[in-house]
Amino acid sequence: MSDSPLPFTVTPSEVAREASDISPGAQKTVKRLGVWLVGACGSVATIAIAGQAVMRRGLGGAIGLVTSRPEFASADLAPIESFVFGGHEIRKTSLVASANGIMRACGVADVFESIVSDLEEVDGRIRPGITRACGREIERLGINVPPIASDLEAIRLIRKDLDAFKAELGLTHLVVVNVASTEAVVDANDAWQSLSRLDEALTTEPSVLPASSLYAYAALSAGDAYVNFTPSLGSRVRALNELAERRGAVHAGSDGKTGETLVKSVLTELFVRRNLKLRSWFGQNILGNDDGRTLSDPMRKAAKLHSKDQVIRRMVGYQVETGVGIDYVQSLGETKVAWDYVHFEGFLKSQMNLQFTWSGYDSILAAPLVLDLVRLCHLAQLRGERGILGALAPFFKDPMGSAESAFVAQDESLLKWITEEHGKTLQ
């Protein structure tokens, strides 16, 4: 990273070079694939890292990994075992401590002892994170945060950490995944509209983007992949997509579709295809982990609810009364319980209902998807794709680059992308 005032805007020629660096055959020689987790000691990151360690030690299978389905076998994805982890964390904590608590809370503590040394190794590669325009709730947590005066300084710091990680481990590919706590909603800024305006603003204003987007800038500017698994802003900014396109980087998001929303997007098929009229769909989530606690910040709750609440309307094509609640119930720990009540109308205006209760561990559901996304982003890197990866829509509540809301259709598109596109790169 240079010290120029607009360091991250790259010229098309640079892009071409970077992109062409990746030959189709490179995949075979990839030894280790870099994975950088923002929120590295959070519950999702912890289970992702612990899970990879468990798999590497041959202690557990691949249940919950989408890319372990037979349909993905032909794609020759990077093995999960090849992942090497680093990350940013704003709290004073460790993966070992986090895993000890979370794995117990998810009922999977029996393999903890076997992987302590793996977790300690990753702990050595976790760097202090940044908090900028995240909302008070997150900023209160951020006690392990270096003093930073501007967004520009933050980007440089992040970029330095990413570069050092890659250099130290000799990594050719890196996927950065945001699994940090959800940020408060921020007001849109005109500077987000183009890369030139953004770069201009970054040199003149102290605060232009929230932390999630600063991480995205750093990653994309380095040509690395960026995935936003949270409802925070991340790379959902026109300027950042421009950066990705120029630097030959891929990005995807946002907000991992793990539980209630997933059920919703599947169940809605029933009503649409049977022409039953949805009258209202009310969902209530209760959860007891840090994610639940930080959601007590109303601004951040709003961000979360927004992406949860739109799936149904998009799928049915008419106005449905919907409501989603999230409340923190500490005693539940990592368990997330969602109750949904669906009121619908059938033939002759008869009134009927369906209700469901989903009881799952959010981190356990999310973590394998993070590993899947890394593999798929890496595939896109190898294929020389750039910009938004719309094909990854089935992983997200609020997918970028896809107008499809139905989960089954999203997944079918992903399978098509895997096979058709793969063929193209092999020509």
Contact positions with its own copies (CB under 8 A) in 81-110: 103, 106-108
Q: Mask: binding to its own copies, 226-265, rule CB under 8 A, as x and -?
A: ------------------------------------xx--
Q: Mask: binding to its own copies, 290-329, rule CB under 8 A, as x and -?
A: -------------------------------x-x-x-x-x
Of 92, 277, 314, 416, which one interacts with its own copies (CB under 8 A)? Answer: 277
Of 38, 50, 157, 202, which one interacts with its own copies (CB under 8 A)? Answer: 50
Nearest Cα neighbor of 286 from 335, 239, 230, 237 is 335
Angle (nearest 5°) at CA 395 between 93 and 137: 35
- Counting residues that bind its own copies (by CB under 8 A) gives 71
- Looking at residues 350 to 369 of the shown chain, list those that interact with its own copies (rule: CB under 8 A): 350-361, 364-365, 367-368
CA–CA separation, 263 and 245 (whole Å): 34
Residue closer to its own copies, measured from CB, 51 or 210: 51
Angle (nearest 5°) at CA 391 between 387 and 395: 110
Cα dihedral 237→239→241→245 (10° resolution): 180
What is the smallest separation between the CB atom of 375 and its own copies, expressed in angstroms? 13
> Which residue stretch of 34-42, 173-181, 207-215, 273-281 sits at the interface with its own copies (rule: CB under 8 A)?
273-281
383 in Cβ contact with 421 (< 8 Å): yes
Nearest Cα neighbor of 12 from 248, 290, 200 is 248
CA–CA separation, 221 and 103 (whole Å): 35
Residue closer to its own copies, measured from CB, 165 or 395: 395
Of 1, 22, 111, 316, which one interacts with its own copies (CB under 8 A)? Answer: 111
192 in Cβ contact with 237 (< 8 Å): yes
Asked if residue 394 binds its own copies (CB under 8 A), the reply is yes
139 in Cβ contact with 181 (< 8 Å): no
Q: Mask: binding to its own copies, 404-423, rule CB under 8 A, as x and -?
A: --xxx--x------------
Q: Which residues touch 347 (CB under 8 Å, ≥6 apart)?
A: none
Of 9, 100, 280, 310, which one interacts with its own copies (CB under 8 A)? Answer: 280
- Looking at residues 165 to 224 of the shown chain, list those that interact with its own copies (rule: CB under 8 A): none
